[in-house]
Amino acid sequence: MVSWQDGLLDGLAAVAAVTYLIVAYVQWKRKVSPDARSARNGFVMWWAGIAILGIVGLMSGVLWDPETLSLTGYRVLLYTFIPLIFASLGGLVHYLLYLYTGRKTLLRYVTAFYIALTVAFVIFVEAQDPFVGADPDTGEVGLQYASEAPSWAGLLFSLALLLPPLAVALSYAALFFQVTDRTVRYRILMVSGGFVLWMGFSVLSSLTRFATGIEERGFVSQFISQFLGLLSAVLVLLAYFPPRFLRRALHLRSIQEPQPEPGPIDFRTPPKRFGPMASQATS
């Protein structure tokens, strides 16, 4: 990539990181029921985690010198920030699962999955015999591998990261067609829509790179991914704090005062249509 492309990506990453922190803060300040608290905290962890990763990425050239960093230093960085990614994704999956099912007990299974994935990642990295050296193609000094794993193994890890949040977001989005309440449908569309686009594009990008044998993401792929992340954050803000003109245009009930998260929708008791958690959330 040329310099202006790097500059554009860095600028977009900076705007996204600030937006993610704003979303994390407003979600943290939202008043929710005790049952919904762990899900809300997981959502905060997601936005705060990716904000931290974005800030560290922008400041990496200042925080450390890749040419003088030892193998131990690379391991410390890798095994600090990769688990942060997994923990953030776990928070997101827990939040979306709670929106869809209303069951906070699913957190134990989400936690177990991402702990197992973290252990598998460490084994995956160490099995490739990492060392610090110059890249034969670019000459850049960094973490290299004496015995690189096949590309399909990397694809499996990418899918293990991306498919769970995509699947849960799609499941939650499907509720849009099963409810009639205008405010509930609006929130389902806004919250799930951004994640479906973001994670869906990432899955498609991973599959495309695997099929074409391209290891590095190009400028267009990185730009679209960062833009969709920023769009997802904006949609979440609009979902919980819609501006007045949207409330009037779409006939939404005011949700300026944060409410408990919606739980599973009860279709068996019309005309109530919603379970107790959903009724509180849309009041």
The pLDDT of residue 276: 33
Averaged pLDDT, 226-254: 89
Q: What is the C-alpha to C-alpha distance for residues 242 and 237, in angstroms, rounded to an integer?
A: 7
If pLDDT is split at 50, 70 and 90, which confidence band does 201 have? very high
pLDDT given at position 270: 33
133 beta partners: 142
1 falls in which pLDDT band (50, 70, 90)? Answer: low
In DSSP terms, 141 is beta-bridged to: 134
pLDDT top residue among 259 and 78: 78
Q: Mean of the pLDDT values across residues 160-181? A: 92
**3-state DSSP helix/strand/coil % of the chain, to nearest 5:** 70, 5, 25
Please give the average per-residue pLDDT across 114-137, as a whole number. 90
Three-state secondary-structure class, residue 150: coil
Q: CA-CA-CA-CA torsion for 130, 136, 138, 139, nearest 10 degrees?
A: 80
The answer on pLDDT for 220 being more than 80 is yes
| 252 pLDDT tier (thresholds 50, 70, 90) | confident
- Over range 55-79, report the average pLDDT: 86
pLDDT of residue 282: 32
The yes-or-no verdict on residue 274 having pLDDT over 50 is no
CB neighbours of residue 139 within 10 Å: 7
- If one counts every other C-beta atom within 10 angstroms of the C-beta of residue 228, the result is 20
Fold of 3-281: Rhopdopsin 7-helix transmembrane proteins (1.20.1070)
Residue 130 phi/psi, 5-degree rounding, is -70, 150
Beta bridge partners of 143: 132
CB neighbour class for 31 (10 Å; exposed up to 12, middle 13-18, buried from 19) = exposed
Q: What are residue 132's DSSP bridge partners?
A: 143
The residue ranges of every structural domain in the chain are 3-281
d(CA 47, CA 194): 13
What's the pTM value of the predicted model, to 2 decimals?
0.85
